[in-house]
Amino acid sequence: MLFVTSNPGKAREAEEILGEDVERVDYDYAEIQSDSLAEIATEGVRDAYEELGEACFVDDSGMFVEGVGGFPGPYSSYVYSTLGIDGVLNALDGIDDRSARFDCVVAYHDGDEVRTFEGTVAGRVTREQRGDGGFGYDPIFEVAEDEEARTFAEMPPDEKNEVSHRRRAFEAFADWYQQG
């Protein structure tokens, strides 16, 4: 089974979470515009399956900030590559309600149909970057359930992978897959 992603950080985390080798395919599947991560992931894995002709899965993630109506949400990737982390912090400068969540949807295509699995983690957006682990928004996403209020980037990888949105989505996927 193939994990279709151009992001090596995601593939590394998937391997650590699933505890086995994951074959990464660096194919840039089509990302439709939608307010729903599940729809984006579903269309993405359809495109990937058409290209590869083999069972495969994709993961689509986004950070949703309460005080700005869920921005950047499904547009997290575009916002990250255009504004960057400092640009996001600037855009949120006057925002007091910084509570946020990170969502992950894994979409799996087995050749017949697509199934989706969701995971979420609560947190808040910091006012400055902290830590140098992980990738993407990790330096500004502080994890609500962490007693030390660390960002994902301040946690060792195994601790991020214990509580992350990706962990929860992949666990749901693995539970379903092992039953089948």
- How many residues bind ligand IMP (CB under 6 A)? The answer is 16
- What string of H, E and C letters represents the secondary structure of 96-132? CCCEEEEEEEEEEECCCCEEEEEEEEEEEECCCCCCC
Separation of alpha carbons 171 and 118, rounded Å: 9
Q: Look up residue 163 and give its two tokens.
A: 């509580």
Q: What span, in angstroms and rounded, lies between the C-alpha atoms of 85 and 70?
A: 16
Asked if residues 33 and 41 have their Cβ atoms less than 8 Å apart, the reply is no
Query: Is 60 noted as a catalytic residue in this protein?
Result: yes
Give least dist CB 112 to ligand IMP, A: 25
Contact 3, 24 (CB under 8 A): yes
Beta carbons within 10 angstroms of residue 31's beta carbon: 16
Closest to ligand IMP by CB, 14 or 49 = 14
Position 77 contacts ligand IMP (CB under 6 A):
yes
CB nearer to ligand IMP: pick between 35 and 179 = 35
The correct pick among 124, 166, 167, 168 for binding ligand IMP (CB under 6 A) is: 166
Which of the stretches 49-57, 110-118, 129-137, 172-180 binds ligand IMP when contact is defined by CB under 6 A? 129-137
Element (H, E) at 4: strand 2-4
Binding mask 27-66 for ligand IMP (x = CB under 6 A): --------------------------------xxxx----
Of the candidate residues 2, 7, 83, 130, the single one contacting ligand IMP (CB under 6 A): 7
Burial status of residue 174 (CB atoms within 10 A of its CB: 0-12, 13-18, 19 or more):
middle
Of all residues in the shown chain, the one whose CB is closest to ligand IMP is: 136
List interacting residues with ligand IMP (CB under 6 A).
7, 59-62, 76-77, 80, 134-138, 152, 164, 166
> Hey, which residues are catalytic here?
60
